[in-house]
Structure 1
Amino acid sequence: MTTTLTAPALQDPAAFYRTGAVARLREDLALALRAAAHHGLSESVCNHFSVAADEGFDTFLLNPRGLMWEEVQADDIVLVDAQGEVLHGRHEVEPTAMFIHAAVHRIARKVAVLHTHMPHATALTLTTRRGLDTGLSQNAMRFAGRTIVDPDYNGLALDAQEGERIARAMGDADVAFLANHGVVVCGARIDYAYDDLYFLERACQAEVLARATGLPLEPVQDAMARKVAAQVEQERLQSTLFFEALRRRLPSAC
């Protein structure tokens, strides 16, 4: 299952990296990255996905610097500590990833943290509204009550202070629209988070297209949107089935 594990304080990061549970997390994280590339959600070698490697949020797994998402395999994933220092892995990591992801894991206590500049979601961070209207499409309704907008763009996250500011802005939200930047999508498991990431972009795409018509939009009442969000949350098996289908479609390299 795509969950985190309980682990004592690390004395041997290399051995910890190879344990069965961490190996499965690495496989799932690499799959999520390849899936995002497959679905057109990646951007060059930029942006990052991460997952907590222990229940104390003392360590997390992260994609490395310089690899396209479609080429990432489980052995490319890097093990990092809560301060963003590399513990084990054959690649370097990108500084903004350490600052943002380390802070969101440590402060917001999020398990899976997916940060992208995917096009339609990012487009909605550029408008005066800066976010998704969760009353418009059925895909959007799954996010009712689960999003926040961080209105303060401060350039690249090149220090711990900016990463911590973003983490505190997230609070209990699962999705953060970062003004003039992109989105952060979080979940209790990698498969749940990836499912949300995929459907968030679909919901944002529908809104962008609908707004482009220039016609009046007709969102549902907030109570209905929240009802749909609760229904989706009760049927998370669909998220797992989607992720396992992606595992069959996008297998790891031999």
Structure 2
Amino acid sequence: MDMATDAHQASKLAARRDLAAAYRLIAHFGLDDSIYTHISARAEAGKENFLINPYGYRFEEVTAANLVTVDLEGNVIDDPERAGINKAGFTIHSAIHEARPDVHCVLHTHSVAGVAVSCLEEGLLPLNQWSMEFHGRTAYHDYEGIALDLAERERLVADLGDKPVMVLRNHGMLVCGRTVGEAFKRMHNLERSCRAQLALMGSGMTIRRVDDALAEHTAQQYEKWDSDHGVTDHDPEWEAYLRLLKRIQPDFEG
């Protein structure tokens, strides 16, 4: 086996490891929803086939080895556990992977805080440093029922546009990432933004707001950090999460 083949194989294994890690971390931080919601990642850089969790498995059960490979038409390419995939998950994730070649990972949650904010007419507000990351960078998609209708894919993609974050109205949250690590960190901040917003709204106190110019400045600061880390360079925050997981749930790589 030559060096190029070795590197290619290592990249494929890393994609599986990172996606399995994201599933475990989402469960660890309490953002999973039984066997529902999904995280997907391209099986190989630049390729259309993507990886997703086997149907019926809780996030804490996902490993690098049991991930399912599926194509954009819904054909299962590889299914080690013969479990199949969730059709609603396929609808959402396939639409974005097909329309956005810049997106490597798509992460969708139904957390209590995320669902609550998705039900607010005002949506997500730039009230603190966490939420300012998403200022002007959040799309909205109206609820159409459980995502089983493939025709919804066109509308979902049109609403998402080129943004990295989408509020699925009356449903939950969705983020895109150039890497699995970027998508996970983005969702972690989005979740904390939702929790903080709900805490502020329930406090009964006067909320101190920032102007759009400051919110935009902060969002650009986040983007600069992201451009310097996590794609061509190492991502220190994601590496820290991987160390945590290897300590507490080392079987995710199996």
Q: Which residue of 2 aligns with 1:141?
A: 132
Conserved in 2, the CA contact under 8 Å of 1:96 and 1:156? yes
Q: Quote the RMSD (CA, aligned, Å).
A: 1.9
| Structure 2 match to 1:162 | 152
One-letter code of the match for 1:93? I
Deviation at 1:204, TM superposition (A): 0.9
Q: Return the alpha-carbon distance in structure 1 between the equivalents of residues 44 and 223 of structure 2.
A: 24
CA distance in 2, matches of 1:133, 1:127: 10
Contact 2:165-2:174 at 8 Å conserved across structures: yes
8 Å CA contact 2:11, 2:44 repeated in 1: no
Q: Partner amino acid for 2:203?
A: T
The one-letter code matched in structure 1 to 2:124 is L
Other-structure match for 1:132: 124
Match runs of 1:1-254 below 5 Å? 19-90=9-80, 91-109=83-101, 110-129=103-122, 131-134=123-126, 136-150=127-141, 152-236=142-226, 237=229, 240-251=235-246, 252-253=250-251
Alpha-carbon contact 1:60-1:80 (below 8 Å) kept: yes
Task: Give, as a single letter, the amino acid of the residue that structure 2 aligns with 1:187.
Answer: G
Deviation at 1:52, TM superposition (A): 1.8
Could you tell me which amino acid in structure 2 is paired with residue 143 of structure 1? F
Contact kept? 2:91, 2:149, Cα under 8 Å: yes
Q: Distance in 2 between matches of 1:23 and 1:49?
A: 17
State how far apart, in whole Å, the 2-side matches of 1:164 and 1:19 are. 34
Q: Secondary structure at the match of 2:118?
A: coil
Shift of 1:118: 1.5
Q: Is the contact made by 1:30 and 1:72 (CA closer than 8 Å) also made in structure 2?
A: yes
Q: CA deviation at 1:153?
A: 1.1
- Contact 1:132–1:204 at 8 Å: present in 2 too? yes
Please give the alpha-carbon distance, in whole angstroms, between the structure 2 residues aligned to 1:121 and 1:50: 19
SS in 2 for 1:115: strand
Secondary structure of the corresponding residue to residue 149 of structure 1:
strand
- Greater Cα shift, 54-63 or 185-194: 54-63
1:172-215 CA-partner distances (Å, limit 9, x unpaired) = 11111011100110011111111010011001110100000122
User: What letter is aligned with 2:91?
Assistant: F
C-alpha deviation, 1:55, in angstroms: 4.7
Partners of 1:100 and 1:164 within 8 A in 2? no
Gaps of 5+ in 2: 1-7
Q: TM-score, normalised by structure 1?
A: 0.87
**Displacement after TM superposition at 1:216 (Å):** 2.5
Runs of at least 5 residues in structure 1 that lack an aligned partner in the other structure: 1-17
